[in-house]
Every structure is written in structure tokens, then in C-alpha cells.
A and B are shown apart, each in its own frame.
Chain A
Amino acid sequence: MTQTRYTRTAVALHWLSALLIFCGFSLGLFMTGLEFSPAKFRYYAWHKWLGITVFIVAALRLAWRAGHPAPIPLATTPAWQVRASHLSHALLYGLMLAIPLSGWVYSSATGVSVVYLGLVPLPDLIPKDRENAKVLLLVHQTLNFTLAIVVVTHVVAALKRHFIDRDTVLARMLPVLRTRPGS
């Protein structure tokens, strides 16, 4: 039984990640175009706090996963889809760790330290350097657009399994929908 769905903790952390990433990503797109204002300063700070939280949650999820393996793929899943899902999950974890780090390094390069939640000062990873900052911003953006593509693939694949293949792949990651009636 335990192998057929994700643990409650894994499900909760998955949806927390989804929410944090959605907020952080949208805020990132929105804030950069704003005119210089105190609100913009606040949004940048919140964006950084969201990112660091994404990193922490991803690290917690990996630690949890080490002790509570993910359910094995359904027997009906074609081998290429198993490989593709492993690849996309690895990419998602990698990006959830790499993107906040790239933002943190970028922040250091701009000369603005990150103070998590306004309380915990994080060390500057590299010295202030405007040329490096430009490159790092591009890295941060590219990683984010890569993440957006992987997330869309992830969501489309889950919906396809649920609505077209009508299997339990999505249900085992949902907090409420345990099994589909009749399946």
C-alpha cells in the first residue's frame, strides 16, 4: 500500500513547492518591470525570501524522499515514459536547488545581500561586480524559463495520465482524491 501513493508529508511538501514556485516566478516576472519604488524593493525582498524557501523545501523533500521512496511506476507505464518522468523529476529537483542559488549569487554580485525573512543574513557568495551580475541575471532567467518548460511538461503529463489514460498517477499526489471511482 505504501508504495502506491506518496506519503502525506511528500504530498504536502510537493504542493507547498508548487505554490511557492508559482508565487516566486510570477512575482519575479512582475517586479522587474515596475518603476523604482518602495513597493519594488519590498517585492524583490519577498521574491528572495520565496526563493530561499523553495530551496529549503526542496532540500527537505530530498531528505524525506531518501527515507520514504517514491511509489514505483505503474506497470502500465511505457518504459520511455518512466525514463522521461525520472529525468523531469531530476530536473525539477535540480532546478529547485539551482535557481534559488543562482538568485543568491546574482544578489551578491549586485551588492545587495540576502537577509532571509528580514531576519537571517545570508553570506555574500561572491564580491560585488556589475559585469558578473549581468551574466548571473541571465543565468537566473534562463534557468527559470527552463523550469517553466519542465513544469508545463510535468503538469501536462499528469493531466494526460489522469484524464486520458485514467490511471492513478495524479491521484497518488493529491491530498484528497485517493482513488478514482471505478478504477
Chain B
Amino acid sequence: MRLFRPFIPSLAMMLLASSGAGAQGILIDKSEIRFLSRQMGANVEGRFRKWKANVDFRPKDLAHSRAEFTIDLSSIDLASEESETEIKRPRWFDTGKFPVATFQSTTMRDLGGDRYEIAGTLTLKGTSRDETIPVEVKKDAAGNSVATGEFTIKRLEFKIGDGQWADPTVVADEVVVRVRMVLPRAA
């Protein structure tokens, strides 16, 4: 979380700057970006240790809401140190050339109830694709808003794990990304 220290002041500034109704940052220590891949038919869960978010979610003003994420790809938490070293190489993330993945929301829709849909652009290893993330927002005991969303990407569309690794029977093409964001109660 050290990476975020420099980010906290800017987050505070953002909160100050947007003191309008419903403006929020996120509680990064309580939030997480995890993913699930399948290797030889077995689920393998991982997560990113370092990422930044700029979330301004206003349920009553979705047009002015936004969600932006910057994920440090080298901070990946996988099954082993060996696979963490490997995934940074050119065949996979190529973190030397593409250190981060980003998501930038374009539109948000209210689906009724606690459900929303966030459309945006995911940029990963130089490839940008439009993704739509269904999100559910609930209040936790402390009154914070907890947004959970899940969407599936196809790693081969982003040329992640190509060449000999392209075989989806060893590592499945589909990777399920699970996002959990905790937004502090609006002051």
C-alpha cells in the first residue's frame, strides 16, 4: 500500500474539490481487485496489490459520476513467485512496456434496485476494449457503500499469454475480474 501514500493527498484534494453532494473517494484498504483464471480446469485466484482509483459515484447524478482505475500490473499476486516473475515477461503482461492497465468509465446506468451498469474502456497491454461491468451497491454496517462487480475478459484478445501459452485448455481464455470498492459514507 506504500504506493498509495503519495496518492492519499490527491484523493483528499479530490474530495475537497468536489464537496458537492455524494462526491466520494474510496477506502482503498477495504477495496480489492481480484481475478479468477482457470489452469488445467482448476480455478486459480489472484489479485493486484497496488492500484489507484478515482471514483466519484453519485447515484442521483450518474452523468457526472466517474470511475477510473490504474492497476500496477507488476503488483500481481499469483500462485507462486515463479508465475509472478513469468507473467511480467513479454509473452504475458510485458510490464516493461506496459506497466499499468487502466479502466476509464464512459457511461453509468441505473438498472433499478441496487444495480448499476458501468460502461468503460479497459486498456491492457496496448489494447483497448469496451467493457460493461454490472455493479451492485449495498450499504455496510458502517454506512459505507460497497460496490461489487464482476466481468469476464478474454486474455487472448489482449495478447496476454500468446505463442505456446495460447492453448486455452492449459490456461483458459476467460478471466473473471472481481472488483469490490468501498466508498465512504458521504459526509
Contacts and interface: CB of A to CB of B under 8 A. Distances in A.
A45 B164 contact: no
The dominant DSSP class at the B interface is mixed
Given A36-B83, A41-B39, A112 B44 contact: yes
Interface stretch (A10-18, A113-121, A154-162, A163-171): A113-121
B72 interface: no
A111 B86 contact: no
A161 B111 CA distance: 78
Contacts, number: 48
A36 B86 contact: yes
A39 to B, nearest CB: 9
A169 B187 CA distance: 82
A112 B42 contact: yes
Contact of B39 (A36, A112, A128, A133): A112
B61 interface: no
The dominant DSSP class at the A interface is mixed
A123 to B, nearest CB: 11
A114 B42 CA distance: 6
A36 B167 CA distance: 15
29 contacts: A36-B82, A36-B86, A37-B164, A38-B164, A38-B165, A38-B167, A38-B170, A41-B170, A41-B171, A42-B40, A44-B40, A45-B39, A45-B40, A45-B41, A110-B79, A110-B80, A111-B46, A111-B78, A111-B79, A112-B39, A113-B42, A115-B40, A115-B41, A118-B41, A121-B42, A121-B43, A128-B45, A130-B81, A133-B80
